[in-house]
Structure 1
Amino acid sequence: MPYSPSSASPFNRFFSVFRYSRRALFLVWETSRWMMLGLALCTLVAGVLPAVAAYVGQLIVDGVLAAMESYEAARQPDVWVTLMPVLGLVALEGAIIALMALAQRGLSAQQSLLRALLGQKVNVMILEKAGTLSLSQFEDSELYDQLTRARREASTRPLALVNKTFGLLQNAISLGSFAFLLVQFSPWALLILVVGALPVFFSEAKFSGDAFRLFRWRSPQTRMQMYLETVLAREDSIKEVKLFGLESRFLQRYRDIFHQLYGEDRRLTLRRESWGFVLGLLGTLTFYAAYGWVVVETVIGALTLGQMTMYLMVFKQGQSALSASLTAVSGMYEDNLYLSNLYEYLEQPTEADAGHVTQGAVQGDGLRFEQVSFAYPGGHDVLHDISLHIPPGSSLALVGENGSGKTTLIKLLTRLYRPTRGRILLDGSDLNDWDTQTLRARVGVIFQDFVRYQLSVGENLGVGDIAAFDDQQRWQQAAKDGLADGFIARMPDGYHTQLGRWFKNGQELSGGQWQKIALSRAYMRKEADILVLDEPTAAMDAAAEADVFARFRDHSRDKMTILISHRFSTVRSADHIIVIDQGRIIERGTHDTLMETNGRYAALFRLQAEGYQ
């Protein structure tokens, strides 16, 4: 359940956030059990040894004083006999310090390695989750905000939380050791230790919560900054930015967002550090009060010089350990808050894919839409009562203005969307009952806004059928079917030529060449018996368009084909034509019957024909 403020008490709200700690620990355990055990061992060593070093330090000071007295009392002293016990203690303390340094190095090394492993694991979890989300969820701005928050912070927070957990354990062990020594001096010393550290802790916890709430609130502004960075630094947008003179305006908007966010950060940072300094003075005062107390006890003879040295060291280190412990708890609180972003995203509900059908109930029936309507969440219908039938071996053309719902209909066919009402049947079985992989293997699509992958030519084709991603013979056949083989043969490395400008030696293609790559990609699906072309030749010249559709007709004789185009010269050859207006079918028929009807289709056809005269 994601973090959210409630009417609960501040105490309960504070500790309720720590529910993510167990999940973070388990996540690190899954990432590397051996390194987590190594962290635990190094933490134990680093926690116990400081108190041992302080105790040995006391023995050294008292041993030195005893050796001095023995040396002065003896008439013919053997200095080495006198010093050997003390030098042994010095060597022991040196070994303890070396072991402490080794433990700290071990902690640092394992934390560094875990940071890389865990960052990769969490990013993979985020991307795997993205693969389970529906297209409509991706089109939701709220989900984009969640994704932005998860990717910007949550990939580093699990390890930070685990490091603080082990740091807290280390300091707790040290505190236990220090407390055992301090209580022999006075139980009141422990109280002074705690009182000096608590104010800073409460201050840090309060400001950590403020920082997190500020982070969540401004996710849209952060996402706008990222978008402006993309627009100002990508080759597919920079030409318009330069042509229209948008650099200064977009850069100023980028600066304005930064200054707004910086102003909020500045105010929070100044308040946080100011209060931290003021409250930190209380800790300093308590230390020097205890310092004076120990000095007085030593002067009156209640403590030896060695004990005074030990208690001052223990109190100072104990105060540092307690302060570090409370800071770690405050940091864990903050890390838990940010981890709520990760799990809020990972726990997004996904549509259950219960489909299992691999063969339709009525073989050869083709594709049917039965009174299908669709609306985006919280919006009105964009498709209304769509009914149509495409038997195998026939072609359907969709005609209509931009925004009339043509591409939405295709997204319903490919089950990227699900109908709000009505149903879609393939070979007599509801589309929702089909196994997803089986269904999508039967569909070859080229969308108008197809992706221009920054990959090699062959891989740009191979994405059309992941099972044949590296099959060079399939690349060549698909390129031949899509009429892309001609210009590919002239490229420096043929099918291994890098496309796009993102990587070294990348080759950029014209719009028409990219469309032939996308068309060839659709031909990679040899098993597909439903072919969908959404404005497949918009960037091609007339001769190339004629060649493409001649090849397409030969390739699709026994398949169900759907064509979306604003060019009526390509539409007229379809077996059936549907005219869509504002999500409704207003005309249907062949080219000849629609021309005889003299409705919207005939008017648009004549209008376009006049442009060629």
Structure 2
Amino acid sequence: MDPADVPPHPPPAPATPPADPTRGFLGVFRYSGRALQLVWTTSRSLTIALALLTLAAGLLPAGVAFVGARIVDAVVDANRQWLAGTHPSLAPVFAWVALEGLLVAALAGAQRGLSTCQSLLRAQLGQRVNVMILEKALTLQLAHFEDSEFYDKLTRARREASSRPLSLVTRTFGLGQNVISLVSYSTLLYQFSPWAVAVLVLAGLPSFLAETKFSGDAFRLFRWRSPETRMQLYLETVLAREDHAKEVKLFGLGPLLLQRYRDIFHTLYSADRDLTIRRDGWGFGLGLLGTLALYGAYAWIAASTVVSRITLGQMTMYLMLFRQGQSAVSAMLSAIGGMYEDNLYLSTLYEYLETSVPPSQGKARRGAQPEDGIRFEHVSFTYPGAGEPALHDINLHIRPGESLALVGQNGSGKTTLIKLLTRLYAPDHGCILLDGTDLREWDEAALLQRIGVIFQDFARYQMRVGENVGAGDVSHFEDAARWREASDKGMASDFIDSLPAGFETQLGKWFRDGRELSGGQWQKIALARAFMRSQADILVLDEPTAAMDAAAEATIFEHFRELAGGRIAILISHRFSTVRMADQIIVIQDGRIIERGNHAQLMAGNGHYAHLFSLQAQGYR
């Protein structure tokens, strides 16, 4: 890694995070129904069990309080009989105690069942949401993955949204449970006084309003800092991955990047600290109002007992009802605030899942003129957000059986041309034809089966050797015979056979017994991968042999040319000893074709190609 490629120092945080895109407190609850449907379709049986257990957990506490009052009154009656000299009957006391024990056991079972259902749903739902995120990624275009704002969206979805649907549903059921409990408590409290019910409900509102306000602030902070969070993850990767370790050590980048990691943390922590202090400070202050209401009600109920308006057992019940009722109100309001917060975070998941992707309209599986090959007609293309076009007015014709070499400086547009040919991008102007049919009219799967391509930044999968080769054709991913055939064509069989387990050898250092390959060996694996597609009649090599010496590259390209047969072969290389083998050579500069012809014609023209060839040839003299 070049020091110039080190990510820039994070900019200072703005004074206040930007406003979130949600539509107000009520509007943001639009995701609740979708979350419930998601949980329902994930596991109907667990969802039904969760609902029934929630109902039971909501009703049982009031039953326990009611039976508790009967126990106290039965004990008082028995004690009065004892003091009056009458032998008391303890059967009612024991009966009520036994009933309360059963209710408490049932309540404990319901709560344990809720915990079990939630744990099982959490595992299933987390997996399902992560699969949804990855399935969406498979439908996205290359432009999405080269857009920093998209990565912020993906980071937000993966970090929080995968756990939020279950949280939302759990809180929804919890809200239902507490509503049921509150209704049962209020029914009993109403016998004491309707005003007691009003005090019970209203005392928790201030804390609820404060919690909701700070939930919105926390979400806006979450959205605002997504780029910094992603930079932290990237720095962790650079500091702790084997593919960066050599340069980090040799260039002494470790302390610099670690300090940058610390700086980002302190920027994020300061915002978190301020929000936490404000949130807890207001929560404590407003929570005191609920405490005052609770003890005011205690005094009221105690005074009513003293004047014999209610019995001792009723006093015990009402005190328990008020305390538990206040807890239920607080839990309800907290659940509503939490649901609001969950909806905010779920907006990031659905914002990602609803990323618009232009539908593929192509249906053609073969072209109108199979003998015509590939044509670029006045093709121009500019990368999203770029000021200058990467390609400008490209006209090009490659017939079946011909080989084409692309020559030009780095950044001249050679790889961009291949991206357009493989439909990773669509041209802004002009059209690209394959067998006389516009690429936009081709069925995408049929088109890609026609092309075998290896880019200079090919993937090095931390998998078995055979799977690295088989990745070139997923329909034969596990086909050992095809692995062998492709590796023979890619000139990789000799070194593969020398590995401990041949095609079964684990590659890379991420997993146990993994073997690391040299750059040249990895490139032969990539070449073999290109030959996995036996139906491909367009073969593209975009500098995949850069790690090999000139002689090895020339041997491979000669071998490649022989195997190409009647196929179209497109080569990108900076070595002119290899390029000269091509039937047609295109020289690209600043996105434009400035020269074309075969080697002899370009040398005779004494232009840019001849100048570069002569410069490189001097290095071998």
TM-score, normalising length: structure 2: 0.96
Q: 2:499 aligns with which of 486, 491, 509?
A: 491
Q: Equivalences for 1:2-81 in 2 at 5 Å?
A: 5=20, 13-75=24-86, 77=87, 79=88
Q: 1:317 aligns with which of 318, 324, 328?
A: 324
Can you list the C-alpha shifts for 1:510-540, whole angstroms capped at 9, x where unaligned?
A: 0000000000000111100000000121111
2:412 corresponds to 1:404: yes
What is the rounded CA distance, in whole Å, between the counterparts of 1:234 and 1:68 in structure 2? 76
Q: Which residue matches 1:524?
A: 532
What is the rounded CA distance, in whole Å, between the counterparts of 2:408 and 2:539 in structure 1? 19
2:101 corresponds to 1:94: yes
Q: 1:540 aligns with which of 541, 544, 548?
A: 548
Q: Equivalences for 1:184-583 in 2 at 5 Å?
A: 184-379=191-386, 380-583=388-591
Amino acid at match of 1:97: V
What is the rounded CA distance, in whole Å, between the counterparts of 1:322 and 1:172 in structure 2? 8
What is the rounded CA distance, in whole Å, between the counterparts of 2:545 and 2:259 in structure 1? 38
Amino acid at match of 2:426: R
Whether the 8 Å CA contact 1:450–1:518 is kept in 2: the answer is yes
What is the rounded CA distance, in whole Å, between the counterparts of 1:536 and 1:334 in structure 2? 49
What is the rounded CA distance, in whole Å, between the counterparts of 1:486 and 1:47 in structure 2? 70
Amino acid at match of 2:315: M
Q: Which residue matches 2:9?
A: none
Aligned residue for 2:360, secondary structure, equals: coil
What is the rounded CA distance, in whole Å, between the counterparts of 1:15 and 1:420 in structure 2? 42
What is the rounded CA distance, in whole Å, between the counterparts of 1:565 and 1:585 in structure 2? 16
Q: Which residue matches 2:7?
A: none
Question: Which contiguous aligned blocks of 4+ residues in structure 1 show a shift greater than 6 angstroms?
Answer: none
Amino acid at match of 1:178: Y
What is the rounded CA distance, in whole Å, between the counterparts of 2:575 and 2:406 in structure 1? 11
Amino acid at match of 2:110: A
Q: Aligned Cα RMSD in Å? A: 1.2
What is the rounded CA distance, in whole Å, between the counterparts of 1:457 and 1:543 in structure 2? 25
2:120 corresponds to 1:120: no
What is the rounded CA distance, in whole Å, between the counterparts of 1:450 and 1:188 in structure 2? 73
Q: Which residue matches 1:597?
A: 605
Q: Which residue matches 2:138?
A: 131
Aligned residue for 1:392, secondary structure, equals: coil
Aligned residue for 1:533, secondary structure, equals: strand
Amino acid at match of 1:598: N
Q: Report % sequence identity.
A: 65
Amino acid at match of 1:513: Q
Q: Which residue matches 2:10?
A: none
Amino acid at match of 2:364: V
Can you list the C-alpha shifts for 1:287-329, whole angstroms capped at 9, x where unaligned?
A: 0000000000000010000100000000000000000000000
What is the rounded CA distance, in whole Å, between the counterparts of 1:557 and 1:571 in structure 2? 18
Aligned residue for 2:47, secondary structure, equals: helix
Whether the 8 Å CA contact 2:550–2:575 is kept in 1: the answer is no
The more displaced of 365-374 and 187-196 is: 187-196
What is the rounded CA distance, in whole Å, between the counterparts of 2:197 and 2:382 in structure 1? 66
Amino acid at match of 2:263: D
Can you list the C-alpha shifts for 1:77-99, whole angstroms capped at 9, x where unaligned?
A: 2x5xx011111110000000000
Amino acid at match of 2:316: T
Whether the 8 Å CA contact 1:565–1:571 is kept in 2: the answer is yes
What is the rounded CA distance, in whole Å, between the counterparts of 1:532 and 1:192 in structure 2? 76
Amino acid at match of 1:390: I
Whether the 8 Å CA contact 1:5–1:13 is kept in 2: the answer is no
Whether the 8 Å CA contact 2:19–2:220 is kept in 1: the answer is no
Whether the 8 Å CA contact 2:554–2:577 is kept in 1: the answer is no
Can you list the C-alpha shifts for 1:163-199, whole angstroms capped at 9, x where unaligned?
A: 0000000000000001101111111111211221011
Whether the 8 Å CA contact 1:358–1:435 is kept in 2: the answer is yes
2:111 corresponds to 1:104: yes
Superposed displacement of residue 74, structure 1: 4.5
Can you list the C-alpha shifts for 1:470-505, whole angstroms capped at 9, x where unaligned?
A: 000110111111111111111001100000011111
Amino acid at match of 1:235: E
What is the rounded CA distance, in whole Å, between the counterparts of 1:608 and 1:5 in structure 2? 56
Superposed displacement of residue 4, structure 1: 6.8
What is the rounded CA distance, in whole Å, between the counterparts of 1:351 and 1:391 in structure 2? 31
What is the rounded CA distance, in whole Å, between the counterparts of 1:197 and 1:39 in structure 2? 27
Amino acid at match of 2:124: L
Aligned residue for 2:308, secondary structure, equals: coil
Whether the 8 Å CA contact 1:455–1:500 is kept in 2: the answer is yes
Ranges in structure 2 where 5+ consecutive residues have no aligned partner: 1-17
Superposed displacement of residue 377, structure 1: 2.1
What is the rounded CA distance, in whole Å, between the counterparts of 1:137 and 1:611 in structure 2? 42
Amino acid at match of 1:58: A
Q: Which residue matches 1:182?
A: 189
What is the rounded CA distance, in whole Å, between the counterparts of 1:547 and 1:383 in structure 2? 31
- Residue correspondences, number: 603
What is the rounded CA distance, in whole Å, between the counterparts of 1:54 and 1:136 in structure 2? 62
Whether the 8 Å CA contact 1:178–1:318 is kept in 2: the answer is yes
Whether the 8 Å CA contact 1:374–1:420 is kept in 2: the answer is yes
What is the rounded CA distance, in whole Å, between the counterparts of 1:122 and 1:176 in structure 2? 35
Amino acid at match of 1:69: R
Aligned residue for 2:515, secondary structure, equals: coil
Superposed displacement of residue 557, structure 1: 1.6
Whether the 8 Å CA contact 1:54–1:313 is kept in 2: the answer is yes
What is the rounded CA distance, in whole Å, between the counterparts of 1:354 and 1:542 in structure 2? 44
Aligned residue for 2:516, secondary structure, equals: coil
What is the rounded CA distance, in whole Å, between the counterparts of 1:433 and 1:140 in structure 2? 26
Amino acid at match of 1:20: Y
TM-score, normalising length: structure 1: 0.97
Aligned residue for 2:204, secondary structure, equals: helix
Aligned residue for 1:453, secondary structure, equals: coil
Whether the 8 Å CA contact 2:392–2:592 is kept in 1: the answer is yes
Q: 2:175 aligns with which of 168, 176, 179?
A: 168
Whether the 8 Å CA contact 2:458–2:544 is kept in 1: the answer is no
Superposed displacement of residue 416, structure 1: 0.3
Q: Which residue matches 1:153?
A: 160
2:619 corresponds to 1:611: yes
What is the rounded CA distance, in whole Å, between the counterparts of 2:369 and 2:492 in structure 1? 37
Amino acid at match of 1:330: G
What is the rounded CA distance, in whole Å, between the counterparts of 1:421 and 1:274 in structure 2? 59
Superposed displacement of residue 366, structure 1: 0.7
The more displaced of 371-380 and 95-104 is: 371-380
Can you list the C-alpha shifts for 1:400-425, whole angstroms capped at 9, x where unaligned?
A: 00000000000000000001010001
